[in-house]
Structure 1
Amino acid sequence: MERHGQPVQWRRHVGAGDLAAVPEVRRALRELLRHRDALGGAGGADVAELLTSELLTNALIHTEHGAVVTATMTPAALRVEVRDFTTALPSPYAPSVDDGTHGRGLVLVQALADAWGVLTHGVGKVVWFELSGGPA
């Protein structure tokens, strides 16, 4: 899978509204991380899965055209990008108690990722995060 420290990349296209694909994406990401024994073991993999789920779910709920998830693993870090095809930019907000679990995705990304951001493209945007870590 990896050749002498070269990045390993995985990509998945997810159809519009296909929330059933979220657990599949989580499993594929865990498999990538398991093969690399990366991010300090299960705790880092759990955070990576959680943040990926949050970004993908946001893209599927708040857009109408599906998303593309790309995970790139290097010896130094994991970068996950979720591209959607709408120009509306996300922003974290402090949800109220009445929101239940709604509205916490970007707050979690902001709190748990080593870095994150949004890049605009001609049609759409990429919301990304990075987690530092090499082999455990």
Structure 2
Amino acid sequence: MAGEATQPTQQLLRRVGCADLTAVPEVRHALRAMLGTWGGPGATDVAELLASELVTNALIHTDHGAVVTATVVPDRLRVEVRDFTAGFGHPCVPHADDGTHGRGLVLVQALADSWGVENHGVGKVVWFELDGGAA
């Protein structure tokens, strides 16, 4: 519409080193700072949780680190975690006595508005999107 100001796209880009699990809270805090008051109640919490799960998976299951990109527009957030290892394990229902392992992709599948995996020559991108209007 004429006269409406469009809000610029915001983007977060972080490279995380191989097995550097200290990067997980750093990415989470940077994402929270970027999002500010974006989305409905709880949207930022869900975004942080899902980003943490994808970054943790990339760091635990690959040997070459990862690149995290989060892009937010007024009504949508997309987080991508690119690693440099081929192959992808599909989400499975974790065993009740398995502690905290095996739940990351199940959470992404349950809480994201959409998600997926894209192969990129060397490695893959695991991504999710959240609708900022509904949380």
SS of the residue 1:58 aligns to = helix
The structure with the largest alpha-carbon Rg is: 2
2:45 corresponds to 1:46: yes
SS of the residue 1:26 aligns to = helix
Alignment of 1:81-100 (within 5 A): 81-100=80-99
Residue in 2 aligned with 1:19? 21
1:26 is matched by which residue type in structure 2? R
Q: Contact 2:86/2:124 (CA < 8 Å) preserved in 1? A: yes
SS of the residue 1:98 aligns to = coil
2:28 is matched by which residue type in structure 1? R
Q: CA offsets per residue over residues 64-111 of structure 1, 9 Å max, x none? A: 000000000011200000000001113100001121110000000000
What is the aligned-residue identity percentage?
Answer: 68
Question: Aligned equivalents of 1:73 and 1:90: distance in 2?
Answer: 27
SS of the residue 1:23 aligns to = helix
Name the TM-score, length of structure 2 as normaliser.
0.92
2:103 corresponds to 1:104: yes
SS of the residue 1:27 aligns to = helix
2:118 corresponds to 1:126: no
Question: Aligned equivalents of 1:47 and 1:53: distance in 2?
Answer: 10
Per the TM alignment, residue 4 of structure 1 is displaced from its structure 2 partner at its CA by 2.6
Question: Aligned equivalents of 1:6 and 1:28: distance in 2?
Answer: 18
Name the TM-score, length of structure 1 as normaliser.
0.91
Question: Aligned equivalents of 1:55 and 1:66: distance in 2?
Answer: 12
* Residue-pair matches, total: 131
Of Structure 1 and Structure 2, which has the larger fraction of its residues in helix? 1
Question: Aligned equivalents of 2:130 and 2:122: distance in 1?
Answer: 27
Q: Contact 2:115/2:127 (CA < 8 Å) preserved in 1? A: yes
1:38 is matched by which residue type in structure 2? W
